[in-house]
Structure 1
Amino acid sequence: MSGVIVSMRRTLLSCTSLARSGLVGGALAALLPAAPAEAADLVDTLSIMLDFNRQELAVLATALALLGFSVVAAILLMRTRVRTAKNEARLRARIGELQLQADRFGALLFAEPQILISWPAGDNRAQISGDFSMVLPRDASPQRVLAFGTWLPPEPALQMDHAVDALRDRGDGFQLTLTTAHGHTLEAIGRAIGGQAIVRIRELSGLRRDLAETHLRYKALSDETEMLRGFAAAAPWPIWAKGENGALTYANPAYVRATEAHSVTDAQERKLELLDSADRTAMERGLKDAAHFNSRLPIVIGGERRIYDVRAVNVGSGSVGVAIDASEADALSSALVRMAEAHRRTLDQLSSGVAVFDGHRRLAFYNDSYRRLWDLDRSFLDANPDDSSVLDQLRAARKLPEQPDFRAWKAKLHEAYRAVETAKDTWFLPDGRALSVVTTPNPEGGVTYLFDDVTESLDLARRFDGLIRVQRETLDSLAEGVAVFGSNGKAQLFNPAFVRMWKLSSDAMRDEPHIQTVEGWCHQLFDDPVVWRQIREAITSIENRADVPLKLERKDGSVLDGMIRPLPDGATMLTFQDITDTENVERALRERNEALEAADQMKVDFVHHVSYELRSPLTTIIGFAHFLSDPSTGPLTPKQAEYLDYVTKSTNALLALTNNILDLATIDAGAMKLELGQVDVSKAIELAAEGIQDRLATDRIRLKVEIAPDVGSFIGDEKRVVQVLYNLLANAVGFSPQDSTVGISARRTERSVVFTVTDSGPGIPADMKDKVFNWFESRSQGSRHRGAGLGLSLVRSFVELHGGKVRVDSIVGRGTVVICDFPTDQAAHRDAAE
């Protein structure tokens, strides 16, 4: 500072032209009010030394003013720097104190293992600090702490998620005690502090951990107790608990109802008991001696005596008990005993020998037929011998079949004790008898043996088989088809000619089918119900048994000459002889002639009647119906309007059917002429689709139209082409299920325009493909719109009239595809036809 002033002084002394110093001193005094003493000395020197004129003083004053401003600025800058340095030193000291305080607080905060999570206001990023090894592996990212499901079981993790969301959204604090997936007990506390959401997670230890675990165990025990109390309250059986002194401490509603008390308190105060005194004494004795009691006792509840299974057990210093209604089980048990006794009495009256061995293989029951069959001593049987002892005694008396290895044979017989199904066998005894043996495992364990003497029946069967073999050889050598049916209607004999004639299976016929079954097999060749009823009645009738001649004309064109002949033993013999060769020629000529005449006459009569007797009245009815529906004829009641609408729809449908029949008759008679012209394919499809819009909407069916860009148009009768497409679409919609798709497409080939209509209906069986284009051939099965069966007939007729072809591709269950080819060159078609 002194250096600056000295320099200024030297400058002023060099200015010899300055005027009055009083003016300069006043200016300097104004400019340097706060300058130090050196500035005052400078002013005195100037006032003594200088004596300038006015003009020079003005210049000097300006220079001094500028110099004074520079000095003041320098002084202020120095003061600011000094003040800034002092403030910086003071702030640095304060920051050091705050850092020291923060370190001290951090040391205190993390003195125990814990995790702090904070979300600043308006910021979704969480700040996480603390000991993450409490819940995460050491190499895991701290952000994994927020994935609560990775270190908590599902239910606590969901609870933690909801608590954190509530804290961040609404500032709701929480305090939770959690158990991690590794079994550690943690405490999570959430608070909203200073505009931040803060969650503190720490591991509990010592007394706090014991209290938390005690709380969790208490909650689990409380929930379990509430669940058990709820079960006891909902149980239909009386349940009670008694203290050490025998007083009632708990009873469920069923116990209250059973004792006719008003409440549990009422039952306790009145000391109401479910059992009578004798049963209570027995229960107390059982609890005292064995710590439990089980018994089936009668109890009177609501004035009705019922049987209950009473069970009680000592628990702690008291006891608990339950009474389960066993009345139905007791009744069933008694009924089972009675049924078993009746069963035993019934078995004792049978001629077959019956022996019942229990689960321990000891004889539990035998009837007198069994004893007589084996000639066993009654005292031996009454001693309940085991199965092996009985067999050993019978073998010693040579009453069992001779066996090379008796031990193995007996072991195989005893497999019935472990079997689940009945086994049958025939024993040929040394004395010549033959026994039928049936071994049946019993449900409760053991086996029942059933013995029948079949010696005589086997002998008769052998002789009968000999006769049957003779008859078989005789029948097999016959050229005629022969079958013998018994009085029960089942086939007894047949020869190969009969099987071949009716295309039957020899194996199936050997199973002795009933005549109705055989009739069902033969329906594919002959299904006249009158003739088959005549055959069934002749076979099964008891009276008026006489020979009945038959002549059968079967579906395959063959003709059979048959005879129904009753036999002396009550059976009936059917014989058939093939006379097809002698009938075919005459029948073919006669049928062909009659068919041609009938067809011609039918066409003439049909066209005549439909044209004049049906179409004209229909037109009149339709006209009058439209006239009545016109408002100018007067108002109609709602019911009249409804009936008139029915009339209009029915007559329109009938007129359309009539027109179809006339078209078919006209085509068949060769009188149909096409009105040829340009047919716009897109327009034809559009017109056909308009006619089925109501059906599409009703059945919720989508129509998919695909027209090739180059299809253009072709020469044809537009009206008939539209009629063909409409009938195909109506048929496809009728057979398609609801919510499905019907498709129509058009494409152009080198010589034709091809229309394709597809549906997703049930398809056409193979045996129906050749019939779908016949007149009046209607497939009502699978269709919601039953028609007269003329639509596809018209389709084929109109397409063939154009010179085209119709093909049907169908798979049962996968829908049907109909393809129509219309030739583009009608001139070539007419030339070929001519």
Structure 2
Amino acid sequence: MSGVIAAMRRTLLSCTFIVRDGLVGISASALLATSSASAADEPFITQTLANLLDLDRQEIAALTTATAVLGFSVVSAILLMHNRIRSAKTEAKLRAELHTLQVESDRFRALLFTEPQVLIAWAAGETRPDISGDTALMMSHDPQQHQPQRILAFGTWLPPEPALRMDHAVDALLDAGEGFLLNLTTSSGRAIEAMGRAIGGQAIVRIRELSGLRRELAEVSLRHKELAEEAEILRGFANAAPWPIWAKQADGRLSFVNAAYARATEATDTGDAVGRNLELLDSDDRSNLARALNDNQPFAARVPIVISGERRIFDVHAAKVASGSAGMAIDASEAAALSAALVRMAEAHRRTLDQLSSGVAVFDGQRRLAFYNDSYRRLWDLDRTFLDGNPDDSSVLDRLRAARKLPEQPDFRAWKAKLHEAYRAVEAHKDVWYLPDGRALSIVTTPNPEGGVTYLFDDVTESLELARRFDGLIRVQRETLDNLAEAVAVFGSNGRAQLFNPAFAKMWKLSDEALEQRPHIEMVETWCRPLFDDTPTWQAIRSAITGIDNRKSVPLKLERKDGSVLACMTMPLPDGATMLTFQDISDAENVERALRERNEALETADQMKVDFVHHVSYELRSPLTTIIGFAHLLSDPVTGPLMPKQAEYLDYITTSTGALLAIINNILDLATIDAGAMTLNLGPIDIRKTIAAAAEGIQDRLVRDRIALQIDVDPAIGSFTGDESRVVQVLYNLLANAVGFSPHDAAITLTARRSEHTITFTVTDRGPGIPPEVKDKVFDWFESHANGSRHRGAGLGLSLVRSFVELHGGKVRVDSAVGKGTTVSCDFPIDQTAHRNAAE
């Protein structure tokens, strides 16, 4: 049996039915494949064919008989022929059913597309859909209408947002079978309905145009959705807003408040504020608000509201809406404070501008005068009433032109139009006006951010004049420097040359081209070292130029290799620069050196003279003392009587030796004072006794020359501190000098006066006086002027007077007129202790 089954399987699998022109044939290979079956397989084969051919019992019996008679191979052929006939019948039947289905399909399609719509169907597992319907419904202006697939590019016929929604809905339908229903509007303004469903393993999208009641319903639904979304957004915004917002019904009760309103009224939440109808405004403000709303007028006011115990300022806005009203309160406390501060600042700004010397005028966006300061009014001498009337810019200019206070212009209209371009400018513009009265004004026109222009006027007449003078001074300075014999160079704080004159380049043998490159001082030093190579000096110059601290003048002397001597001075300038000056002092240095050598020679000679006089004086004093001693011995009666002639000669010897001893003592005193070895024996000096002692020393000369001595001393003049013997010596020499220059039968005067700090002795004679050309020499050693004197002295008296007076800390004055006499005054300090402390 297994062999038969296998043979039948092979036969059935290898059978090739060829349907052509209504004939059914079986291939010869199928008949040959069954020849191997045996009689034992007959019942099974017969039953199997009966099942395959759908035979009834009579047909099965006939088949069985035929199988027994004709054999299995012939029966098989017969069965196959019978199957061909049945297949033809079945095909005819199927064709009839297919025609019926096609008719029904056409009828259903006609019913389906009675209204404009498009069907898009995706079969299971397919990515390319089947599109049917009128695509022109959505793409009426598409030049590629013959390509239905373009309808899937939703962005070509839908606005961006609906196209995105359509894309997401179709993706959800294809991926998860989620249906959708969308009401959309095409780019051309058509209202459509897009519905997607998963049916029978297919995804179908139907797109149809809405019209009539259905369209109106869709539009109402869409509008309702939009309004609901808008209301939700507005409600959410109102709740999130930081300002109190409320809505009231027609009867004045609250219907909505936001969280800020609830907080402001100290309610637990918005529901609590609505339930208790908590009011935000006080009664007066509520009355004003209600009155405005009853008049169908919007309400806007800035009112104070107390929130959490703090008084704040709010801008309240309310309006009548439908059958109720709505309002909002915006916290304006900070704005009010800023506004007040701005007002104060503006007032302060105005007060500040009023204090400026510059004229300021501000014109607003309508070109009318909004502000001016007093300097502006005085500058143009305009009437305050005219300015307070807020004239426009053109009127002000016309009035100034009529008064000939503006610059003369050939085309005033064009000039004014150019000036008014500042109202459209974005940057400030500067100019200078030269007025007919000789003044020069600097004008700055600045556009204001809020519109308009600000004019700023400054009288620069003086500054321009100063600038001209400065330029002139600079030119004069340049010419002066260029023509100076003194070399001048200015180096900046960076050490580079900024200015030099030709004398500098010539003195150091530098080229003007090299110096014009602004070389550094180190480079200049390198160029100058061949003439002067002294490192410390150049270091001092560099430090003076580049130093920052302790800037001061530094004098230097440069002895160059060419034998010239330069005096250098570094002078710090106020701007941080340093000026170097070089002056050739070679000739002056040579002269100074010669004078110094001569002076040293003169001082040496003078010292030699002093030493010689000192030495000779000491050498003369000893023998002179011996001669005086022997003269006194001879004149003593003990030694025996002398003849008259001898007595006369001895008297001459005594007088001459006395005079010589006085001269020698004077010389010794002067030498001691000059050597700084003289000391005073200080003590109280009785002035009257001192004058008497000095007068007694010259009594014989007064008698001999018939000179009268007049002493003028206050009886209560008292005393002062000094060396009495030296004061007596001073007065003696003054009296002796006066006697020597007084004519016979004349008078000399000695006065003493006491002041707060000094004792003044004055000796006056009626002699010939002292010529002006020798007045300054009367106190020099050995200067004896015998003009009008009967005695030729050694010229030491007045020298001693000045030395002793100055040793006491006093002063000597000489007043003399030729032919009228001479007055010598000596001032002695009363307190020597104070004088010595001051000297120390």
| TM score, norm. by length of structure 1 | 0.49
Whose radius of gyration is greater, 1 or 2? Answer: 2
